[in-house]
Amino acid sequence: MNAMTPTEKAKPETAVDKDWWRGAVIYQIYPRSFQDSNDDGIGDLAGIRQRLPYVAALGVDAIWISPFFASPMNDFGYDVSDYRAVDPMFGSVEDFRALVDDAHHLGLKVMIDLVISHTSDRHSWFVESRSSRANARADWYVWADAKPDGSPPNNWLSIFGGSAWEWDPTRQQYYLHNFLASQPDLNFHNADVREALLDVVRYWLELGADGFRLDTINFYFHSAALTDNPALPISERRISTAPAVNPYTWQDHLFDKSQPENLDFLRAFRAVLDEFPAAAAVGEVGDDQRGLDITAEYTSGGDKVHMCYSFDFLSGGAPTAAAVRKTIEKFEAAAPDGWACWAFSNHDVVRHASRWAQAKTDQLAYLKTMAALLMTLRGSVCLYQGEELGLPEADISFGDIQDPYGIRFWPEFKGRDGCRTPMVWSSNLPNGGFSAQKPWLPVPDIHRAMATNTQSGQGDSLLEFYRGFLHFRKAHPALIKGAIRFVDAPEGVVAFTREHGGEAILCGFNLGAAAVTFAPRAKVAEFEGTGLAGKLASGVIELPAHSAFVGRIVDRL
């Protein structure tokens, strides 16, 4: 568990792969909950360093570290008060540099979470902006006068509930906040704001970061005219970016986000990344109606962001085979030259082991099948810490809840703490080996029983399946960068081919609860060592319930 020492030899320099991100598997680390190195109950950068060998051994290509910038932690780091400082609870800039060095030694890229749609209300920019209507940064945030009756400028709503406008008594104006009132939105219509943020991008790239995860990438610009959003018919409401109890889902968000001006900013952002050898970025697209279309728009043309993810697989019930095919084909049609990043879980949503697997008769088989599906789709992949252990959503009592989102809507919506509990390393140590002291969120007993030490070396465990399949994937470029083409399959089965550089692979996934046979229109050879339950017998693929098959296409029939 020791971090690397400066005396260890670094790997020899290799040619820069500017395309490393295409098909990369990115492991998301929530720093508060990964590893506590100083026993204060909160994870930190030094703790991440200690656990990097574990991450590298999984077979992933990069890590994404959720925010560790200076912050009052009203939204646990997504409210930044200083973009160039590491919050002391996580360590220092020197700790970040050491982490990058260790990660690079292990062959891992380091992506950091860049939150630039808004800041904390304690950021010096906002403190100055709210001080008067005539200061140098007066227009750095989105300010607007009240209506004649004193009400907010328009009907825009906050994702965290209520109006997206907060009254400021000093300026006698409202300011925009798409999230907490303590997270005022920056005014991207101001060129000075855009340039200041691009300087932040350069700062972290110069410190060694390999790229960024861009929080709420489609929230940067708002309609300058502050036009009201129209109501959304009940039949069209979805609950991917906000829970059903939040009336945010009642509007069609045409004017408070996803504005056309964002395209030019993303081109300027990409130009800064292109100043560096191989920097890359993945954007988070939050939009219930147009998520895939925006993802396609932002990643097409090779001049904007490298890849994006939407919430198509991050909310709702278990996807059907038909839904998986429809989602992927829709994106492929919208942006043939674009690139998606697919994810099933992250720090904002209920873990998919609970959302999808708990209703299945064989949860382990189902989770293995879905993991293989995720890692064979065309696109890059984000894995969330603990996903490889099959951790379910933790049940957090109201007395332990920390998330302001959950406090606001409890008990109908319990917030995001259930997916943010500490990583479990040992079933035998206090708090799962995360910390010797009481952690900021409790560690459930069910999680301790699923700790890494209980699964390592166990051939049928989910952890060993992830390790094996990730290394299998790395050995087959077709699964990383190959084209995808769906093929007809029995009901409940999603099947497709991946092809690249002369290699062609057939993938089939039975998402149903009954066994199915599948006769491919090709001569297929079975791969060894995939860990999948699907088998080939006399040219027919046999798929038990919740199983998968991956084989090499030898010849077309």
Average pLDDT over residues 131-135: 98
In this predicted structure, what is the pLDDT of residue 556?
78
Give how far Cα 431 sits from Cα of 152, 267, 507, Å: 46, 45, 40
Portion of the chain with pLDDT greater than 70, in percent: 97
Portion of the chain with pLDDT greater than 90, in percent: 92
In this predicted structure, what is the pLDDT of residue 365?
97
Average pLDDT over residues 352-376: 96
Is the fold of 25-118+190-473 the same as that of 483-556?
no
Q: Where are the chain's structural domains? A: 25-118+190-473, 483-556
Give how far Cα 521 sits from Cα of 44, 502, 532, 556, Å: 52, 18, 21, 7
Average pLDDT over residues 257-275: 98
In eight-state DSSP terms, residue 227 is: P
pLDDT in tens, 100-119: 999 999 999 999 999 999 99
pLDDT band at 244 (very low <50, low <70, confident <90, very high): confident
CATH of 483-556, one of 3.30.460.80, 3.40.50.720, 2.60.40.1180, 1.20.1250.20: 2.60.40.1180
Nearest to 39 by CA among 442, 450, 440, 423: 440
**Would you state the structure tokens that stand for residue 320, as one six-digit string?**
């059907």
**Exposure letters 175-203 (e unless 16+ CB within 10 A, then b):** bbbbbbbbbbbbbbbbeebbebbbebbee
pLDDT in tens, 460-500: 999 999 999 999 999 999 999 999 999 999 999 999 999 99
3 state SS of 260: coil
Average pLDDT over residues 240-268: 94
Nearest to 29 by CA among 68, 83, 3: 68
pLDDT band at 5 (very low <50, low <70, confident <90, very high): very low
Residue positions annotated with a catalytic role: 215, 275
In this predicted structure, what is the pLDDT of residue 56?
98
47 pLDDT above the threshold of 80: yes
pTM (two decimals): 0.96
pLDDT in tens, 161-189: 999 999 999 999 999 999 999 999 999 99
Nearest to 285 by CA among 253, 251, 311, 304: 311
Average pLDDT over residues 391-416: 95
Better-predicted residue by pLDDT, 424 or 9: 424
Average pLDDT over residues 501-522: 95
Mean pLDDT (the chain) is: 95
Q: Where are the beta strands (DSSP E) in 267-390?
A: 280-284, 307-309, 341-343, 380-384
548 pLDDT above the threshold of 90: yes
Nearest to 323 by CA among 486, 469, 520: 486
12 pLDDT above the threshold of 50: no
What is the dotted CATH code of the domain comprising 25-118+190-473? 3.20.20.80
In this predicted structure, what is the pLDDT of residue 237?
85
pLDDT band at 14 (very low <50, low <70, confident <90, very high): low
| Whole-number Å distance between alpha carbons of 509 and 492 | 8
| Whole-number Å distance between alpha carbons of 316 and 314 | 7
| Whole-number Å distance between alpha carbons of 128 and 109 | 36
557 pLDDT above the threshold of 70: no
